[in-house]
């Protein structure tokens, strides 16, 4: 009997041991040497090794802190991953979210309004990271979205220097595409990707309605079912441009066959002169052989009308690639301070800026960072930012907007629905939103 | 009294850990999920309120859910039939005295050791680039069309990749079934002159019914819940046409951030799969041969 009960006791001890090991682990926020340990979920796909290297540098330069990198999953939005992290109580001290998701974590993160870097942000970046006037998140970098172009191909077609600001209308773009096609090159690539089409292209139908209040009014009309897309000037203008790009699409024969990889390769190989994308895609283009030197690549706005004075034809989208926020629910105040020190290092130190701009190809979202982006598309976005030739996209779209309407855009590309059908799908989607 | 305490002690030692794991991982999460279906939780917020049965009403009115359930039913039927037929044929072939038998057995089982996510990526490259490159090089237009860009072909791509993965696992079970067939019955049948198709149809297949019951049961459950391969191979595309029901439920909860509705749909799915599995097992059991 004694033996049996000792086996029983041993079994129970092991079981309880397993339980306690799975639970929150005591005072683990301090290392043996007294350094504050904290975790960072701060690097997306494509910049994993760069981020790991940067964290090593941060730890070396700041021995009072010990930051550990938390690697996320490749094809899941950071917010989705945060849901599981919060559900398990295992939340990184500092984490990234998309700008549109900052408001959703507002009651879980630290108010960063008083930080030194917050005074250096571009106003639009500050606005993207702020909720109710409080700065809750810091932009990792800025990113520009529009028609990326291969200067060599465009100049070969027009027989001279190319100045993207001369393309002021859709007709200008159509004439340019025709010339490029006549020169024997595919004018443009349209990638059949939901996040790109509905998350970054279609959004211009909300953006170009006007300022924040005009955008809000339009969204309210869509939700109420009173917006008439068939007569909406912006929607039709944007779709006319979309039709133009589809007509001149490299993959026109198989419009929905492309993937991000095949299209990036085609663009890097010089198979097409334009590609609707953002400068965030540069690391992949460079890996595929596109040269970062000189001004071989650039980016320009998507025109939405034939009015040469239309400001929406002259500005590219500039937005934050990711926003970084600091958790206050499970991380100790010492850990929160350590994460604040990381942000300070990121924006104000030479090695932080080197990581932000040179290592990851980012465009600074902070005025104090004077380093030039390491890639030509980024340099163009940085110049546009300084010249105020950018606009900030609408925020607060429903979480599944890109997914649901992205599928509809791809159906449109495949010819399964026409413009009226797309308008109907968009209207139907918005009516279900509260 | 003492004896019953001993029994409890024995139970705790041997079955305690797994009972604890079952309760904490399966039952608790199942109940938590059930409660979630009556709330409007967004997945992160501290506030949630009870909304009665409205999530079920939304789930039942969700046309996309029923559409993906229909697609999943078709997928399950096709996968169950093809995977079991292929696995049985392979196992039957491998049970004889052939060269490289061990290597072949290991080879067919290998896909099952690779996770569904990785397999999905591998087949993604095969269908989106490999087959296309071969088709373009040989000038065969049917192959040069990327499968994943067509709703019908993308569905079959999903079926092919799943069958390839599942069949390897089923081969092992069928092999085990074939090796345990009673020798005396087989010998008696061969003395009676059974051979060829009659041997297979009247002797082997009836004796293998218990194995079929297990394999079909496993395949039904597994293919109804397919998510990983669906995610990495087609990602529901093109335009949502290959979104199986497990993926739809996940998207509802995590992408649309409607946890209550997603969970209600998951519960409906659970009930459907449970009913089908119980029916399948009870019907198959009745047809098994008792020796």
Q: How many interchain CB pairs under 8 A, A with B?
A: 79
pLDDT at A427 > cutoff 60: yes
The mean-pLDDT minimum among A203-212, B133-142, B259-268 falls in B133-142
Mean pLDDT along residues A225-233: 92
In a domain, A154, yes or no: yes
For position A113, which CATH number holds?
3.40.190.10
For the stretch A304-340, pLDDT in tens is 999 999 999 999 999 988 899 999 999 999 999 999 9
Angle at which helix B2-14 crosses helix A2-22, to 10 degrees, equals: 40
Q: Ramachandran region of residue A391, left (φ > 0), alpha (ψ -120 to 50) or beta?
A: beta
DSSP string, B124-191: HHIIIIIHHHHHHHHT-HHHHS-GGGSHHHHHHHHHHHHHHHHHHHHHHHHHHHHHTS-HHHHHHHHH
Question: pLDDT at position B200, please?
Answer: 85
Closest chain A C-alpha to B20 CA, distance in angstroms: 9
CA distance A142 to A149: 19
- Token pair, residue A239, equals 């779709």
In a domain, A234, yes or no: yes
CA distance B264 to B55: 6
CA distance B255 to B242: 17
Question: Residues with Cβ < 8 Å from B177, sequence gap 6 or more?
Answer: B91, B208, B210, B211
Mean pLDDT along residues B241-255: 92
In a domain, A147, yes or no: yes
Q: Are residues A171 and A227 in the same domain?
A: yes
Judge: B12–A11 Cβ closer than 8 Å, yes or no: yes
**A86, A87, A407 member nearest B240 (Cβ):** A407
H or E element, residue B193: none
Question: pLDDT at position A6, please?
Answer: 44
The mean-pLDDT minimum among A202-216, A234-248, B190-204, B217-231 falls in B190-204
Q: Phi/psi at A139 (nearest 5 deg)? A: -65, 140
Mean pLDDT along residues A55-74: 92
Question: pLDDT at position B245, please?
Answer: 94
- Token pair, residue B206, equals 């009836």
A192 contacts chain B (CB < 8 A) = yes
Question: pLDDT at position A321, please?
Answer: 80
Please give the share of chain A, as a percent, with pLDDT higher than 90. 73
| Angle, alpha carbons B42-B26-B23 (nearest 5°) | 120
How does residue A28 score in pLDDT terms, banded at 50, 70 and 90? low
**A75, A86, A399 member nearest B257 (Cβ):** A399
Q: Are residues A134 and A152 in the same domain?
A: no
What is the average pLDDT score of chain A? 89
Q: Are residues A287 and A345 in the same domain?
A: no
Strand partners, A64: none
Question: pLDDT at position A17, please?
Answer: 41
Specify the long-range contacts of residues A70-78, CB closer than 8 Å, at least 24 apart.
Answer: A70/A39, A70/A40, A70/A41, A70/A95, A71/A41, A71/A43, A72/A41, A72/A43, A72/A44, A74/A45, A75/A45, A75/B231, A75/B232, A75/B235, A77/A101, A77/B255, A78/A41, A78/A44, A78/A322
For the stretch A6-24, pLDDT in tens is 443 444 444 444 443 333 3
Question: pLDDT at position A26, please?
Answer: 38
Question: pLDDT at position A56, please?
Answer: 95
How does residue A362 score in pLDDT terms, banded at 50, 70 and 90? confident
Please give the share of chain A, as a percent, with pLDDT higher than 70. 92
Closest chain A C-alpha to B45 CA, distance in angstroms: 8
Please give the share of chain B, as a percent, with pLDDT higher than 70. 98
pLDDT at A157 > cutoff 70: yes
Chain A residues lying within 8 Å of B7, measured CB to CB: none
The superfamily (CATH) of domain B57-286 is MetI-like (1.10.3720.10)
- Closest residue of A to B231, CA-based? A75
Judge: B128–A107 Cβ closer than 8 Å, yes or no: no
CA atoms within 13 A on the CB side of B79: 31
Q: Are residues A235 and A251 in the same domain?
A: yes
- B256 against B71, higher pLDDT: B71
Q: Ramachandran region of residue B10, left (φ > 0), alpha (ψ -120 to 50) or beta?
A: alpha
Q: Are residues A152 and A109 in the same domain?
A: no
Number of domains making up chain A: 2
In a domain, A378, yes or no: no
Q: Are residues A340 and A205 in the same domain?
A: no
CA distance A251 to A170: 21
Q: Are residues A273 and A313 in the same domain?
A: yes
Q: Where are the domains of chain B?
A: 57-286
Report the candidate in B245, A192, B225 with the shortest Cα–Cα distance to residue B236. B245
CA atoms within 13 A on the CB side of A324: 27
DSSP string, A112-167: -TTSGGGGTB-HHHHHHTEETTEE--EES-EEEEEEEEEHHHHHHHHTS---GGG-
pLDDT at B11 > cutoff 70: yes
As for the ipTM of the complex, it is 0.81
In a domain, A379, yes or no: no
Q: Phi/psi at B256 (nearest 5 deg)? A: -80, -10
In a domain, A59, yes or no: yes
Mean pLDDT along residues B156-170: 93
For the stretch B79-96, pLDDT in tens is 999 999 999 999 998 887
Chain A residues lying within 8 Å of B263, measured CB to CB: none
For the stretch A191-221, pLDDT in tens is 999 999 999 999 999 999 999 899 999 999 9
Q: Are residues A314 and A353 in the same domain?
A: no
In a domain, A20, yes or no: no
A107 contacts chain B (CB < 8 A) = yes
Domain of A73 in residue numbering reads as 33-141+321-366
Selected residue of B149, B242, B251, B263 to mutate for chain A interface (largest A Cβ count, 10 A): B149
pLDDT at A264 > cutoff 70: yes
- Closest residue of A to B121, CA-based? A75
Closest chain A C-alpha to B53 CA, distance in angstroms: 18
B3 CB-contact burial (10 Å; exposed 0-12 / middle 13-18 / buried 19+): exposed
Question: pLDDT at position A301, please?
Answer: 96
Residue A173 contacts residue A303 (beta carbons within 8 Å): yes
Residue A170 contacts residue A237 (beta carbons within 8 Å): yes
DSSP string, A22-77: HS--TT-SB-TTSPEEEEEE---TT-HHHHHHHHHHHHHH-TTEEEEE----TTS-
In a domain, A385, yes or no: no
């Amino acid at each position: 009997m004694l033996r049996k009960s000792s086996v029983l006791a041993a079994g129970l001890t092991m079981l309880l041991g397993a339980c306690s090991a799975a639970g929150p682990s005591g005072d683990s926020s301090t290392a043996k040497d007294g350094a504050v340990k904290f975790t960072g979920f701060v690097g997306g796909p494509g910049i994993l090794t760069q981020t790991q290297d940067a964290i090593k540098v941060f730890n070396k330069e700041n021995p009072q802190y010990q930051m550990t990198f938390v690697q996320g999953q490749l094809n899941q939005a950071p917010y989705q991953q945060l849901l599981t992290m919060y559900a398990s109580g295992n939340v990184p001290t500092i984490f990234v979210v998309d700008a549109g998701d900052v408001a959703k974590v507002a009651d879980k993160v630290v108010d960063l309004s008083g930080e030194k870097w917050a005074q250096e942000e571009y106003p639009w970046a500050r606005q993207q990271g702020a909720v109710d006037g409080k700065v809750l998140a810091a932009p990792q970098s800025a990113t520009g979205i529009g028609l990326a172009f291969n200067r060599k191909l465009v100049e070969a077609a027009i027989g001279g220097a190319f100045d993207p600001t001369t393309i002021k209308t859709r007709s200008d773009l159509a004439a340019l595409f025709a010339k490029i096609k006549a020169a024997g090159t595919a004018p443009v690539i349209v990638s059949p990707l939901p996040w790109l089409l509905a998350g970054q292209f279609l959004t211009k139908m909300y953006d170009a309605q006007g300022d924040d209040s005009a955008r809000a009014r339009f969204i309210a009309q869509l939700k109420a079912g009173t917006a008439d897309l068939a007569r909406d000037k912006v929607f039709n203008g944007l779709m006319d441009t979309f039709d133009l790009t589809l007509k001149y699409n490299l993959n026109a024969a198989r419009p929905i066959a492309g993937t991000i990889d095949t299209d990036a390769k085609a663009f890097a190989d010089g198979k097409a002169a334009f590609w609707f994308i953002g400068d965030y895609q540069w690391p992949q283009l460079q890996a595929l052989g596109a040269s970062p030197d000189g001004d071989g690549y650039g980016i320009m706005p998507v025109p939405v009308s034939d009015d040469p004075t239309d400001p929406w034809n002259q500005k590219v989208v500039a937005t934050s690639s990711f926003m970084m926020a600091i958790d206050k629910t499970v991380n100790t105040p010492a850990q929160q301070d350590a994460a604040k020190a990381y942000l300070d290092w990121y924006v104000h130190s030479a090695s932080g800026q080197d990581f932000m701009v040179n290592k990851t190809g980012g465009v600074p979202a902070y005025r104090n960072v004077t380093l030039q982006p390491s890639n030509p598309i980024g340099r163009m976005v940085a110049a546009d930012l300084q010249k105020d030739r950018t606009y900030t996209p609408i925020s607060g779209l429903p979480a599944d907007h890109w997914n649901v309407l992205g599928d509809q855009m791809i159906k449109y590309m495949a010819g399964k629905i026409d413009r009226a059908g797309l308008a109907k799908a968009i209207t139907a989607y918005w009516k279900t939103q509260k | 009294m003492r004896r019953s305490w001993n029994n409890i002690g024995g139970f705790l030692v041997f079955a305690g850990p797994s009972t604890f794991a079952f309760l904490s991982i399966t039952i608790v999460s199942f109940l938590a999920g059930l409660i979630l279906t009556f709330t409007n939780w967004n997945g992160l917020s501290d506030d949630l309120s009870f909304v009665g049965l409205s999530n079920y009403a939304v789930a039942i009115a969700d046309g996309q859910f029923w559409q993906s359930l229909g697609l999943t039913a078709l997928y399950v039927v096709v996968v169950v039939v093809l995977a079991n037929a292929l696995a049985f044929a392979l196992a039957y072939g491998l049970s004889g005295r052939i060269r490289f038998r061990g290597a072949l057995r290991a080879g067919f089982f290998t896909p099952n050791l690779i996770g569904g996510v990785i397999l999905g990526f591998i087949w993604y490259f095969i269908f989106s680039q490999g087959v296309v490159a071969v088709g373009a090089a040989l000038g065969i237009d049917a192959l040069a069309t990327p499968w994943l860009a067509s709703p019908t072909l993308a569905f079959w791509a999903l079926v092919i990749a799943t069958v390839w993965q599942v069949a390897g696992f089923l081969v092992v079970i069928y092999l085990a079934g074939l090796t345990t067939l009673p020798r005396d019955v087989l010998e008696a049948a061969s003395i009676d002159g059974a051979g060829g198709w009659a041997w297979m149809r009247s002797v082997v297949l009836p004796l293998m019914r218990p194995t079929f019951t297990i394999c079909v049961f496993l395949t039904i459950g597994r293919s109804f819940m397919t998510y990983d391969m669906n995610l990495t191979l087609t990602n529901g595309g093109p335009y949502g046409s290959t979104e199986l029901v497990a993926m739809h439920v996940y998207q509802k909860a995590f992408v649309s951030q409607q946890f209550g509705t997603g969970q209600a749909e998951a519960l409906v799915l659970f009930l459907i799969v449970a009913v089908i599995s119980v029916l399948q097992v009870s019907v198959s059991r009745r047809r098994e041969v008792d020796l």
